[in-house]
Amino acid sequence: MSWAALDYLMVLRPTLFIPLWSLMLAGYLRAATDGPLPPFILKPPAPLLLGIAPLSMLMGFVHILNQIADVESDAANKKLYLVAGGYVRMKFLVLEMALLMAGAWAAAWLAYRGDPLPPIILAASAALGVIYSVRPIRLKGRPFLDLLANAFGYGVLAFGMGWLAAGRGAEGMWIGSIPYFLSVGSIFVNTTLPDLKGDLASGDRTIGAVLGMRGSMILSSALLGCALASGAALRDPIALGAGLISLPAHVKMVASRSVPSILAANKWGVLSLSIAVGIFAPVYLLWLAFIILMTRLYYKHRFGIKYP
């Protein structure tokens, strides 16, 4: 396979699918739970795979759109992304986006025939992805709205799509998503901190830019605490376990207030949920290891950098 072909695959940013898949799997496991613990999944069930497909393709569309819209801030933050670096051609990106959007709706029809709620969630996710990145609305540049958009999009909508894939219906779904909404919010606040310089230069007033380092860490800590409390109240071992796994890195971040500690807290925030769901679906951890390894090898040989 040529570099050009790989470029159009990697422009989807595979590692950014990890929180999406983890939250969908969390939703599926919570909906499939009859006793105190979720069921153990040794082989991915077909309804789960069919449910993951449409939202994954839709998020691929959103990832490309976000990179197109963020060319200036990515350049200012010295991020080597394929779109900002000119390694991919715009006309092919537009075609790829069209195919992804069409594929998402086709997969949704196959996975959820007769159920009106998943297409509504998919449409809401698409709309949220567009207005998050594209001006004049561009929620990414609007403090607190950027936080709500991410927390709702991942913690509620992605979780909900996974929940519905279990075939249980929407009963309990919205309440069950509360700790995940809060967890995603806690992680998102911290992700805005390393990019403050570039975001301000491009006119994006993110929540991190408005609250600053100290205020952002206070808000992130409060959200994590609420996520742990709600996970305990709902007797959700996945949400509670993920929060406890990420807590030490979060405490270190607050104590040191350094960029490396912020990046470490962000990584552990995402990995903690993957580990928590991976306990009940071990094959998922093998899949994530493959994605991370392939991504690292690509960036090492293509650009000579270590990513992720």
pLDDT at 205: 82
End-to-end alpha-carbon separation of the chain, Å? 22
* For the chain, domain boundaries: 42-303
CB burial of 243-272 (b: ≥16 within 10 Å; e: otherwise) equals: bebbbebbebbeeeeeeebbbbbbebbbbb
Per-residue pLDDT tens for 134-154?
888 889 889 999 999 999 999
- Give the residue carrying structure tokens 């959200």: 223
pTM: 0.91
Cα distance between residue 120 and residue 234, in whole Å: 26
pLDDT at 75: 62
pLDDT at 219: 95
pLDDT at 78: 62
pLDDT at 226: 97
Which residues of the chain fall below pLDDT 50? none
Cα distance between residue 107 and residue 215, in whole Å: 42
Helical ranges in 234-258 per DSSP H: 237-256
At residue 28, the 3 state secondary structure works out as helix
